[in-house]
Structure 1
Amino acid sequence: MSGSSSLTNASLSIEERSFCVEFDLKVASRGIFLGDDPLKFAFPLLLVQLGLVTFLSATFRWLLKPFRQPTFVADILGGIALGPSFLGHNEEFYQRIFPKESLIVLDVCGLLGILFFTFLVGMRTDVTVIKKAGGLSLVIGITSFCLPMLMTRSLAVFLRSNVHMDRNFEFSLYALPFFQSIINFHGIYSILTELKLLNSELGRLALSSSMISTLCGWSFAVVVKTVTEARQGGLSKSVAGTMSSRLLFVFFIMCFCRPMMFWMIKRTPEGKTLKEHYVCTLSLMVFAGIFYCEVMGIELIMGVIFLGMAVPAGSPLGSGLIDKLELFVSAVLLPSFMVSIGRRVDVYGITLSNFGKVELFIVGGFLGKVVGAMVPSIFRKFPVADAFWIGLLMSCQGFVDISFFSHALYRKYITKESFSIMVLMATLQAGIIKPLVRSLYDPSRKNTAYKRRTIQHSRRDTELRILACICHEDNVPAVINILEASNPTSASPIGVYVLELVELVGQAMPLLINHQTNKTSHSNARSDRIVKAFSQYQIRNQEIVAVQCFTSIAPYATIHDDICSLALEKITSLVIIPFQKFDSPALRVMQNKVLQVASCSVGILIDRAHGILKAPKTLSDSWFTLHVCVIFIGGPDDREALAYGTRMAEHPNINITVIRIYEIGHKEFDLIETQLDLNAVNDFRIIHADNSRAVYKDVGVSDGPETAEVLHSLSEGFDLMLVGRRRDEGSSILMGLSQWCEVRELGVIGDMLTSSDYKSEASVLVVQQQASVVDDVNAASSIQLSRQYL
């Protein structure tokens, strides 16, 4: 062997056996042309291992995609497929891919991967959820941990007393109850995120309950560990040193690390990314914490989780760290952990007898969690199906649970056979639960309205309730001016519910914050400014406008749940959503979701960069006049837009023009829709017959190009255009226009009015009448008209 090679005698602990092996510590190969075998060098071998598990995981994701399985299942199956259960069952392949001298490098990378992964999990854990949680979340969180612990512990006592088993497996009975009872919320968070149910009512309940249960489990583990060490060592120096080192670790985090994090947050301007040296400092804290825990004998996973929990929830610090670390951890380090797990899972080493015993604990823990969640829910009058849904979620397991199993195997709390069974069952359980959860719960059903919630069908002498969504601060002036244009009066006041939409980053728990508009907000500066702006609007309109401000912090993929739930709860007639064409695609998806499931009418507000709605002046100024145009072609959405325009026309500072576009020489076959359109137009003309500020015009066209010509003639002289969203795109007067529609959620006419080719500074409000009752309205109208003709 060459002089540059360094030979070392090392003792490696592999599962229960010890080997004395001699191996070369060289890292990089010189290449095959110089006679080196790359697989006998640490770095290329690690790349092969990671590449294989990544390829296998991607293959399983592709195969399982039609079955909508969680990514956790595919990732674990990829690791198992590489191990002795499948490819590694070939002894030659296993020795080639997993030579004994490579195991240290692989295990170190895997350990580092799961430690950083659990650190990110800790950052997503909001410990304040215990203070904010309702009684039901608290009860479910406690019972779903205590009940399975009681059941599995009783089962362990029974088996030790009545069933003969080998000593190693009997020792596992002390640990199995805990590992099958603890709930790690990250598995639940992952499934809710993949199902886009994070913001649903039951999703919030399950997530907050799981966080409480997780904290109960972690606290129980620390207490049991401390008590066990005290019993084994009495008041010995080692036990006292370990306990004092834990207290010192907590003290150091709370009194040094956390204040430093708050200092970093104050030094980071709102909306700016985290400075590079802050990320380096925080990463150094993680490495220092891991080193301290390793030196002092503190459980590594518990240490990094606690350090992650110390990061202020929802802060730019947490989101910045997640942005910087998550991709590297999930793409590079976590595959090492999956390989490490996979090589320890051996289905050929499982005996039927021990499989049955471990399965009893798994089933007992599962039933305990389900029952522990169902019973409190049913007592609170939840439907049995919803209670069962929560119970299923509470029994989900994920990467953190697998890491606990791995730690237990390393500490020899459980046998390798028990470990293999637990990993396989956790994977199978996750694969079954996700499809069940998807089929049992549809959050959109709660948004079904059983009454018309539209402007058209609202009484003119009652309060008009509007939910106004704010995506950016720039939306505030336009939304306030639209609200003032809605003509609040003492006879028909306006109830305004302002919902600021904030993307969830840096924490796992979505929040719906109810601000007190007469108090200073304690949220971030942007929220504070938005609340103050609407508070001033309420003050200027005492007794005719009431404002309530909310902030929804949630992923954009599920934030529509908060919008629709709040609209349903507050019985609103209209939801206003600002639209920016070049915004995040996720916001576009959110708008489409609201259009599909909202329990009331929806208005999408496109505010031109130089439109009059951007002006800081308001309609309460006597000299300020707003010119509004309503484009009416026909259909429920156009009738809703006309009804809104009819209300606006009563404002003394608004001039309104209604342009009815009809097809020349066209004979209508849908008499019901035609009659409804004529009724809406006649109502407007009768109400504003003596209003000099209201103008009505009929414009006949023959085809789509003539319609486009009419629209272009309206490009000047108006500040706001009201138009319906949906209509028959096969109509002759729209023929050819639908082919050029780029933004489908705005409809054909709305898209044309907001396109770059349309030279206008007017803002546009695209209105969709309450989608869930349009058919009911038409059916009821059909019956009424039929009676008129009989």
Structure 2
Amino acid sequence: MMGSGTAANKGVRPMASGLKNYYVKRGLEKEFEVCFLDNRTVGLTQWQATSPLMTYLPSFMVQLTLIITLSRLLMIIFKPLRQPRFVCEILAGVMLGPTFMQNLQQVAIYVNKPEGVLLLETMGSLGVTFYMFLMGLEMDLTPIRKMEKTAYSVAIAGIILPGFAGMILYRLVKIDQEDAPMEGGFFWAIALTVTSFSDLARILSKLKLMSTDLGKTALASAVLTDLVSWILLVATIAMVNGRGNVLRIIPTLIFMLLCWFVIRPLLFRMIKRIGAEREDSLSSSSSSMEGQCSDKHVGFILTGVLFCGFITELCGVHPMFGAFMFGLIIPRGEIRTKIMDKIEEFVVGIMLPPVFLVAGLRTNIVFIAAGYRYWLVATVIIVASLIKIISTLLVCAYLRCSFRDSLALGVLMNTKGVIAIIVLQEGRNVKGFDQPTFTWMVLSIILMTGLVVPVVSFTHKSTRHLKQQHRMNLERSRPESELRVLACLHSSKNLSGLINLLHLSNATRKSPIVVFAVHLIELTGRASAMLILHDKSETNDISSNPIRERAESEQIVRSFESLQNDNRAVTVHPLTAVSPYATMHEDVSNLAIDKHVSVILLPYHKKPNDIGGWEDQNLEYKRVSQNLLANAPCSVGILVDRGLTRHLPLESQHDQIRKIRIAMLFVEGADDREALAYAWRMGANPRVTLTVVRFVPGKDLLESVADDDDADLDVFSAMFEKEKEKLLDDDYINEFRFRTMHNQFITYMEKPVNSGDQIVSTITSAHNDYDLYIVGRGYDRQSPMTSGLADWSEFPELGLIGDTLISVDSLMSASVLVMQQSPPVAALANPRVSQKGNTSGSNKGFSSDHPFVSHRLSNP
């Protein structure tokens, strides 16, 4: 048997000493032939007759184990540098190649054997085929139809300039070689042109830039660039296989037309019928049949991938193109999500690593300049790494975009992925690359992709909004000004309470309310987070969500639309946010910054049980709430709904006369002032009676403070801060009393207390007949008036007073709204632990001032 490879250097015999089973024969230039005996020797072990490492499949298993293990190890090592998975996998392939481990005799004999390359390449080709199918599933062509000037300008420049640069570099490298194939320059050009859409989407999602102008511009440009690069690659491969015959492209074009105009409509009909059957089975509670139908059709789709790949192989191009085209024509819907859930991790984690190992075996950094001058090596790597950035900077300079945004966009367009490795592999197969030039391009790809996240993180820091001197909250806004609210819901069970709270928030023409109603859905089976705006004028695709979640989103949209129809002073923008629970608070915070909201309203993550206690609906809901309390860029309100909706909407004449009774319990601090600000706004509602109860230090408490003689510098500093807070409280209370003095439905009173027990007794005896209590959470507050309450506090998210209100049996029918004012800038710049087990981290914000394309998520 014989195998072929590439020598490390001109005139150097690549046979290592001690490899007596192989005979290496020089060929033309850097080519050589490896001859070996395929002798099935008898093994010395008791397990089987032949040595397991002398056959191809066990050797492939060893290779696969090593590449997966090493790539996972590198992902852990490079996690602090926030490097994408692709960089770690290609580095793992290089480390297992001739640069490092291949020079070890045991590795060369038992792991990376020349005769095992064929099986490795075959499995890699199969992995690439299914990976390109997933890439087609993931790609959305909608941004192309809505591309603005900046997006398509960047895409066109990113195709033309890198393309010409690749051709020039190829001619520069091959100028002394008469046998250099003409088509080789096209592979150089395509390798520099391509931008990996899927890898870019993951990076933007990780950086929380997906829904910014920058992210949308980059994604739209990447889609167009990918499609053009893909078409050029298919045409080039067809011409190479047809030996320059342009007519060899015609069968591939016919296949494309058949897919788009014949197979695609048939798939639409089939999936529409499946959806109707599932709706029927769901209504009849036949969930098991639904799962069986899904599995059956997923198997049919996966068979179609192999068939389309076979057809394109007959047409003279790689099977991966047929798989990509088949994935592209599958309609967006649950079938896409289910397919990705079933095979994505297997394809990416198991079937794709052989591609990186093959690329690593063809990369040798030791002989990077074999036969070439060092200045040429440096020129190629530098030009290849910078040409995309330069083209983007030129376009953005012409469009007068800021340099910071232009640089970030150029670096994002430099994102490479598996498709770039595929281009290099195909180019090497037609001798467009030899081993040194292949190594140059691999290093360029690693350099380009590895710098994306660090550079963009530096240019678009998530804490940029912290430069604001004032955080968004209600205390600093006038009660009659516009109120911008971000209402978050995990399910329709939270719907009625939040909507009726907004009903009571006094939306008028002079003080309108803008509500961004966000249905929060856990990310499962998708490559990146997504944000969907439900627009009446357009048909939004939320079909990628499962049926129950889609129906829930539709119910939430209809309910908030009813809120807007009931009161024209309320403007509602319903959205659906799909992201992992671990980073869901970042998406909410980014949206709050982008929409300039003053308060985020959340439902409480617990629900009452049958014995008067509380039980968690979902522990992940608690995690989201805690993260928002620690990191939100504006005020946060948590609603514990226990009957607020009993009289909303009105059902009888008695309900029309009865007013909603609201009590605001004021202790001290910024959170209580924020709670008073929201209560102040609600107090102007003609259907509300508001009672503000301020607890002040009693006589005994004042005397105990005066008798404390052990004051030191820290105590004096704390006393100064408390006195400062007290002045702010007095000023705000006095302003509230002055401006509401003529409102007969607003009552103010003060209650002296000496401990937390007296607060509880005062509430239960004199203020126990209200429909809604509004209190401040008391962020990091230590007050003598609440002493004793912390000893039995069970729910720190609600603060001491909120915890007390939901724990007292006599108040079981009352709802509670707990307000927390946005932490000060200094607190976010130097994070502290806001509660046990929850540390505040840095905020990742939407960029709201990018000079790029406008989009439908811009501020209304």
TM-score under structure 1 length normalisation: 0.83
1:284-305 Cα shifts (integer Å, max 9, x gaps)? 1212222222333222232222
Residue 91 (structure 1) aligns with: 105
Residue 841 (structure 2) aligns with: none
| 1:580 is the counterpart of 2:605 | yes
**1:294 alignment partner AA:** E
* In structure 1, C-alpha distance between the alignment counterparts of 2:751 and 2:222, rounded to whole Å: 61
Alignment of 1:387-786 (within 5 A): 387-446=406-465, 453-502=472-521, 513-516=532-535, 525-542=551-568, 544-552=569-577, 563-564=588-589, 567-568=592-593, 571-581=596-606, 582=616, 591=625, 600-608=634-642, 611-613=643-645, 617=649, 622-623=656-657, 625-664=659-698, 665-666=701-702, 667=705, 669=720, 670-686=722-738, 693-703=745-755, 717-734=769-786, 746-750=798-802, 760-771=812-823
- Residue 127 of structure 1 and its aligned partner are, at CA, apart by 0.8
Q: 1:197 to 1:172 in 2, by over 3 A?
A: same
**1:338 alignment partner AA:** F
Residue 320 (structure 1) aligns with: 338
1:689-725 Cα shifts (integer Å, max 9, x gaps)? 5666545454455455666676777996443332223
Identity among equivalent pairs (%): 29
* In structure 1, C-alpha distance between the alignment counterparts of 2:267 and 2:423, rounded to whole Å: 26
**2:307 alignment partner AA:** A
Alignment of 1:377-396 (within 5 A): 377-396=396-415
Partner residue of 1:301 out of 308, 312, 320: 320
| 1:193 is the counterpart of 2:209 | no
| 1:335 is the counterpart of 2:367 | no
* In structure 2, C-alpha distance between the alignment counterparts of 1:554 and 1:594, rounded to whole Å: 15
Residue 21 (structure 2) aligns with: none
- Residue 350 of structure 1 and its aligned partner are, at CA, apart by 2.6
Give the number of equivalent residue pairs: 758
Q: 1:32, 1:38 within 8 Å by CA — same for their partners in 2?
A: no
**1:769 alignment partner AA:** Q
Q: 1:379 to 1:759 in 2, by over 3 A?
A: farther
1:146-174 Cα shifts (integer Å, max 9, x gaps)? 221133334445565xx434745987444
Unaligned runs of 5+ in 1: 1-9, 777-790
* In structure 1, C-alpha distance between the alignment counterparts of 2:651 and 2:508, rounded to whole Å: 13
* In structure 1, C-alpha distance between the alignment counterparts of 2:808 and 2:5, rounded to whole Å: 67
Task: Provide the secondary structure at the position in 2 that maps to 1:301.
Answer: helix
Alignment of 1:200-211 (within 5 A): 200-211=212-223
Range with bigger deviation, 319-328 or 359-368:
359-368
1:261-308 Cα shifts (integer Å, max 9, x gaps)? 444444444998782212212211212222222333222232222222
| 1:254 is the counterpart of 2:264 | yes
Alignment of 1:102-251 (within 5 A): 102-157=116-171, 163-165=175-177, 167-168=179-180, 172-225=184-237, 232-233=244-245, 241=251, 244-245=254-255, 247-248=257-258, 250-251=260-261
Range with bigger deviation, 647-656 or 316-325:
647-656
Q: 1:424 to 1:25 in 2, by over 3 A?
A: farther
* In structure 2, C-alpha distance between the alignment counterparts of 1:225 and 1:215, rounded to whole Å: 15
* In structure 2, C-alpha distance between the alignment counterparts of 1:432 and 1:676, rounded to whole Å: 48
* In structure 2, C-alpha distance between the alignment counterparts of 1:615 and 1:41, rounded to whole Å: 77
- Residue 370 of structure 1 and its aligned partner are, at CA, apart by 0.9
Q: 1:30 to 1:434 in 2, by over 3 A?
A: farther
Task: Provide the secondary structure at the position in 2 that maps to 1:622.
Answer: helix
Q: 1:534 to 1:702 in 2, by over 3 A?
A: same
- Residue 618 of structure 1 and its aligned partner are, at CA, apart by 5.1
Q: 1:748 to 1:196 in 2, by over 3 A?
A: farther
* In structure 2, C-alpha distance between the alignment counterparts of 1:424 and 1:504, rounded to whole Å: 34
- Residue 245 of structure 1 and its aligned partner are, at CA, apart by 4.6
1:151-206 Cα shifts (integer Å, max 9, x gaps)? 3334445565xx43474598744421221122222232233234343334422322
| 1:79 is the counterpart of 2:93 | yes
Residue 344 (structure 1) aligns with: 362
Q: 2:671, 2:777 within 8 Å by CA — same for their partners in 1?
A: yes
Task: Provide the secondary structure at the position in 2 that maps to 1:92.
Answer: helix
Task: Provide the secondary structure at the position in 2 that maps to 1:332.
Answer: helix
* In structure 2, C-alpha distance between the alignment counterparts of 1:259 and 1:200, rounded to whole Å: 35
* In structure 2, C-alpha distance between the alignment counterparts of 1:744 and 1:147, rounded to whole Å: 58
Q: 1:597, 1:772 within 8 Å by CA — same for their partners in 2?
A: no
TM-score under structure 2 length normalisation: 0.77
Q: 1:473, 1:526 within 8 Å by CA — same for their partners in 2?
A: yes
Q: 2:384, 2:444 within 8 Å by CA — same for their partners in 1?
A: no
Task: Provide the secondary structure at the position in 2 that maps to 1:603.
Answer: strand
Q: 1:76, 1:338 within 8 Å by CA — same for their partners in 2?
A: yes
Task: Provide the secondary structure at the position in 2 that maps to 1:346.
Answer: coil
Task: Provide the secondary structure at the position in 2 that maps to 1:366.
Answer: helix
| Alpha-carbon RMSD | 4.1
**1:537 alignment partner AA:** L
Partner residue of 2:62 out of 48, 58, 65: 48
Partner residue of 2:330 out of 287, 301, 311: 311
Range with bigger deviation, 10-19 or 472-481:
10-19
* In structure 2, C-alpha distance between the alignment counterparts of 1:406 and 1:349, rounded to whole Å: 19
- Residue 131 of structure 1 and its aligned partner are, at CA, apart by 1.0
| 1:64 is the counterpart of 2:96 | no
Q: 1:31 to 1:678 in 2, by over 3 A?
A: farther
Residue 781 (structure 1) aligns with: none
Task: Provide the secondary structure at the position in 2 that maps to 1:275.
Answer: helix
Range with bigger deviation, 626-635 or 577-586:
577-586
* In structure 1, C-alpha distance between the alignment counterparts of 2:307 and 2:407, rounded to whole Å: 43
Q: 1:758 to 1:503 in 2, by over 3 A?
A: farther
